[in-house]
Every structure is written in C-alpha cells, then in structure tokens.
Chains A and B, each alone.
Chain A
C-alpha cells in the first residue's frame, strides 16, 4: 500500500505538484494519468525522495528513506535509459544488487525474465528504447519487490512487448503487489488499470476506478437506427432532458461497400435517456427499429474531457484544407472523440509540437 499525503513541489513561482493525496492499493494496477507537464514524473520523484518537496509518502507505513534495502521492497524506474552506456546490462544490475544485498543469481533470473539474456554481456549503449525499457523493468524486479513504480514503461515497446508488459503487471498485481504506473497509452491503460489517479497542472482531477472516471467525465449515448427516424426523433425530443442528433449518412456503416450493400436506415444519436427507454418509446408508438445500442465513451475521451482545461502545452490542429499550420489555430482537444491526427508538413529533424513532460 502506498499512501501519499499532501505532496507538493514548486519551481520558483510555478507549482509543479499541488498538495496531492492518494492511495495506491495492493492487488491491482493503478494508472497515473495526466497531460504533458502535469507533474506525474515530479510526483513519482517526490514519492521516492529523489526531489525535495513537501508532504510525505508511506510505503506500508514507512518513508522511502527509512527502508533498509528499498530495492527489495520497492522497484522503481523513472527514466528509460538510466544506465552507463559501456557497463554491461548484467554488471549494471550486479551493481544495484550489491548495494541492496541481493544475490547475483537473481540478476540472471530477471534478465532471463525480460528476455535480455542474449545481450546481458553487451554494452547497452546500442540498446533500442524497447530493450532499455526491458532492462529498466529487470532493474525494478531485481529485488522481487512488493511495490512497483513505473514511469511510462510501455514507451518504445512493440505491440507484443506491450502485451507482455500488460500481462506481467496484471499478474504481479494478482499476486497482491502494489503497481503504480504512468502511461500516455490510454488504450493500454484502459486494458491494464483497475484504478486511476488523474492529475492536471499538479492538481488532483480524479482518483478512483476506471469505469467511474469514464462515467464522470463523459456522457454515454444511444445509437438508434430506424426507417422512421424522423418520427422517432420527434417523439424523443418531447422527453425532458433528451437531445437528439442525426448521424450523418456516411458514418452509418464504416467500411461498408456502398455499391453492394443496401442503404442503411437513418440513425440518431440520443443522449439523456436510457437505451431501454428508447426501445420502449419506439415500441409504444409502433416505430420499427433496426438497431439500438448504447455507446460508451472511451478512456481517451474521458481523459481529454477531464484534462482539457489543465493542459500545460497546447498544440494546434491544422486549419482548413490547404491552409498553413498556425493560420487557423484551434484547440487541439475538445470534448468528444478527437479527429484523426493531422499530418504535419515534412520537416525532418524539426521539433515536435507540444513540448516535453
């Protein structure tokens, strides 16, 4: 169990972490989300006494600095390439094992576990980001700790690596360990995390289960398709609190061959009413339905809605077709599902918009 109480940190006039308090419980994966610059890494550094700030973090009731051999109780990786480029992967772990009273045979075990046995005696200066992440995970698991704190561990992993990481972290959580992991891969977090801590500009936005976060920060809607859509829309609009939008024709059946398939029935997107109530209303008024389905928003949608106001670095979409970037600035993130990412003009080696965390 991790208990963070009133964590705060300032850099001059800027507040990086603003009195965060939360608990990370054992037996589950807790995701740590926030936009770039929200203070996720700083929070993790405060938890591990790497940064000086206010508040305290207790690991099963003890502060990090008072634990005799922290690596045997808390495995942490905050940077993906935190190793000397010419010290072999094996020696890197042996060094940490020596400082933590961990037997050397454990080094080979964790390297085998993360799939780096073949390169254990190689210098890691040529490791890919994915290999570096695996070495970082081996480092975190070296002391067989009860608690893991990982900052963006999926960065640089290929799809099978991400799947493997998810399986590993969920298995470790199932063993009763405490897993606290930050990630920008929201789809991955949706599959992996049981609980969420979401922050923006150093402040707590949400702390609770994933479903609750999606529920709190999005509105589910009902997609209904009927040959009598206009009549149904009229009926629904008479119900208090219900909004009805017609779904454009080209979005009815994505991927369908328009020449081969018959034209689908018109569709409506209805919000403010339960799916069953829509069905009952249609039945009572003899309106035929071809489709009736609840549409739940994704974690990504909820995240963008929740953190949109607290983004530190805001990029801009491309303007109307053909216009130059920046000529028609618009907020990159608005409520609702994001559009497909714009294709930036080709500028090899150019800076990435948005800045770094």
Chain B
C-alpha cells in the first residue's frame, strides 16, 4: 500500500493543475471572505458572519468543493484520457490498492487545502474583527462539516471519472447535477400539483451535502417547504450518494479491461 501511496503522491504533486486549482480555490474564497468581512465590519460579529468568512461563502458558492472535486476527477480521469492507466497498472497491478491510494491522497490534499483556506480567511477576518471569534456551536460543527463536504466532493469527482473513464462526462455530471437537476426538482416541487416531491427534497445529495455548513435551521422563505434532516444526517445522505457511485466505479474498475 505504501508504494501505491508514494506513486499517487508524486502523481498529484507533478501536475500543474493540482496547484492552480488549489491556488485559485483558496484565492477566490479569500476574496469572498474579504468582501463579507469588509461589508460587515461595522456589524456585531455573529456566527453567520464568522461561518461565511471562514468558508468563503461556501454555503452559497462551493468554490473549494468544486475545485477539489475536479482534482478528484483528474486523479482517475487523466489515467484514461492520456492512456497512463497502462503504465500505472504495470507499476501497481493491485487495482483496489491503487484506487484506495488515490482516495487517500486526494482526500488528504483536500483537507490540506481547506485548512489553508480557513487559515487565510481567518487572517482576513481578523483584520476587521480585531479579536478571535467564538468557535462554539454551531461553528464547532460547521468547520468539521466543511472538511467533510470538501472531501466528499473530491471523492465524488474521483468516483465519477473512474465510472466514466474520462474527464468531460464526470465534470458535466458534477456541475449539472447540483446546479440544474436538483434546482429543477426543487422548482417543480413548488408547483401545487407536484408538491408531493417536497418530502424527497431532503434526499437530494448535493443539497443535503450543503446542509453540513448550515448555521441555522432551514427556512423556506418562499422556497419549497419540507423538514430537512439534521446536519449529520444530511451529510450521511451525501456520503451515501458518493459511496454508491464509488462502489459501482470500484466494481467496474476491477471487472473491466484497463
């Protein structure tokens, strides 16, 4: 297993896209954090502002989750796009070991990027706050939830690219599902004749994953009315979705020709 981990670590480090995707993710969220911190500099510091600054507005704009998912897509998709799966498997023929190494390394990289982003955003917030914010509830759950959300996004990208054995299809699914498909289902549930869809909304995977960053109970505010699951139950829905894709991709990776 250590050989597979070393292989994956060198593979990740020797791709320029790893650095620009991570760098742009940190930079954009830092920009969002700066804007929020600057705009609310005269407001009393509350948990909502703190969470939005620390995560760079990840509750409504999932920059780092999406960028890390693309790194996940590249980790498996590039193998097929550029034909490197052949030398890779002649170096590490144990396919489960290889896939597990990819999951571990991409997850660790995602954790590292989230940690750097949180530190940068905290530094930007402190410029205006002048003091450390309170990390009591719900921030003590939002921050671990943020780590979990990004790791799940990254594994989701990795699994989708392994499933489709390529980059473009995986990226399309990653972007279209949360932006269009889940939005469409939520929108349809507002039509009175289709309001029976509303109980199912809590099981929409990407929307459920977003609840990991929630700082307050769900409020409809003119949107669909339903009782969402708790933070960790919602995270479980997203994790189950990712696990399902990963299980199918893993099975097919073992079964199909390279």
What are 24 A-to-B residue pairs whose CB atoms are below 8 Å?
A45-B257, A48-B89, A49-B93, A50-B89, A50-B90, A50-B257, A51-B257, A51-B258, A69-B3, A79-B83, A81-B83, A82-B84, A82-B87, A83-B84, A84-B78, A88-B14, A91-B10, A91-B14, A92-B14, A94-B10, A96-B91, A99-B4, A100-B7, A101-B3
A-B contact sample (8 more), CB < 8 A, given A45-B258, A78-B86, A139-B87: A81-B83, A82-B84, A82-B86, A86-B15, A92-B14, A98-B6, A99-B88, A100-B91
CB of A83, distance to nearest CB on chain B (Å): 6
> Which A residue's beta carbon lies closest to that of B101?
A99
> Which B residue's beta carbon lies closest to that of A94?
B10
A64 to B90, CA, bound (A): 9
A172 to B92, CA, bound (A): 24
CB of B204, distance to nearest CB on chain A (Å): 35
**Which of A74, A83, A95 is most buried by chain B, counting CB atoms within 10 A of its CB?**
A95
CB-CB contacts below 8 Å: A152-210 with B? none
Interface size on A, residues (CB 8 A): 35
Which B residues form the contact surface with A (CB < 8 A)? 3-4, 6-7, 9-11, 14-16, 78, 82-84, 86-94, 255-258
Is A65 on the interface with B (CB-CB < 8 A)?
yes
Known contacts A51-B258, A52-B257, A65-B93; decide if A84 and B3 are in contact (CB<8 Å).
no
Is A25 on the interface with B (CB-CB < 8 A)?
no
Q: Which residues of A contact B256 (CB under 8 A)?
A: 52
CB of A147, distance to nearest CB on chain B (Å): 12
A92 to B83, CA, bound (A): 13
Known contacts A52-B257, A69-B3, A82-B84; decide if A94 and B14 are in contact (CB<8 Å).
yes
> Which A residue's beta carbon lies closest to that of B94?
A65
A257 to B11, CA, bound (A): 64
Q: Which residues of A contact B6 (CB under 8 A)?
A: 98-99
The 8 A CB mask of A78-116 against B (1 = contact, 0 = none) is: 110111111110011011101111000000000000000
**Which of B84, B87, B88 is most buried by chain A, counting CB atoms within 10 A of its CB?**
B87
In the complex, are the beta carbons of B10 and A71 less than 8 A apart? no
**Which of B9, B11, B90 is most buried by chain A, counting CB atoms within 10 A of its CB?**
B90
Is A76 on the interface with B (CB-CB < 8 A)?
yes
Known contacts A82-B87, A86-B15, A139-B87; decide if A96 and B82 are in contact (CB<8 Å).
no
CB of A221, distance to nearest CB on chain B (Å): 45
Q: Which residues of A contact B9 (CB under 8 A)?
A: 98
> Which A residue's beta carbon lies closest to that of B11?
A95
Q: Which residues of B contact A45 (CB under 8 A)?
A: 257-258
Which A residues form the contact surface with B (CB < 8 A)? 45, 48-52, 64-65, 67, 69-71, 74, 76-79, 81-88, 91-92, 94-96, 98-101, 139
> Which B residue's beta carbon lies closest to that of A84?
B82
**Which of A51, A82, A92, A98 is most buried by chain B, counting CB atoms within 10 A of its CB?**
A98
In the complex, are the beta carbons of B82 and A82 less than 8 A apart? yes
In the complex, are the beta carbons of B257 and A84 less than 8 A apart? no
User: Which of A77, A85, A98, A101 contacts B10, CB < 8 Å?
Assistant: A98
Instruction: Please give me the 9 A-B residue pairs with the lowest Cβ-Cβ distance, nearest first.
Output: A99-B7, A91-B14, A82-B83, A98-B6, A51-B257, A50-B258, A99-B91, A98-B10, A95-B10
Known contacts A71-B91, A76-B90; decide if A86 and B257 are in contact (CB<8 Å).
no
CB of B177, distance to nearest CB on chain A (Å): 27
Q: Which residues of B contact A95 (CB under 8 A)?
A: 7, 10-11, 14
In the complex, are the beta carbons of B93 and A70 less than 8 A apart? yes
Q: Which residues of A contact B87 (CB under 8 A)?
A: 77, 82-83, 96, 139
User: Which of B10, B15, B83, B90 contacts A48, CB < 8 Å?
Assistant: B90
A48 to B93, CA, bound (A): 9
> Which A residue's beta carbon lies closest to that of B8?
A99
CB of A77, distance to nearest CB on chain B (Å): 8
**Which of A51, A81, A82, A91 is most buried by chain B, counting CB atoms within 10 A of its CB?**
A82
**Which of A45, A50, A81, A101 is most buried by chain B, counting CB atoms within 10 A of its CB?**
A50
CB of B72, distance to nearest CB on chain A (Å): 16
User: Which of B14, B82, B86, B255 contacts A50, CB < 8 Å?
Assistant: B86
User: Which of A50, A70, A77 contacts B91, CB < 8 Å?
Assistant: A70
Q: Which residues of B contact A49 (CB under 8 A)?
A: 89, 93
> Which A residue's beta carbon lies closest to that of B9?
A98
In the complex, are the beta carbons of A64 and B93 less than 8 A apart? yes
User: Which of B3, B82, B83, B255 contacts A99, CB < 8 Å?
Assistant: B3
> Which A residue's beta carbon lies closest to that of B98?
A99
In the complex, are the beta carbons of B258 and A99 less than 8 A apart? no
Q: Which residues of B contact A71 (CB under 8 A)?
A: 90-91
A10 to B145, CA, bound (A): 48
> Which B residue's beta carbon lies closest to that of A125?
B82
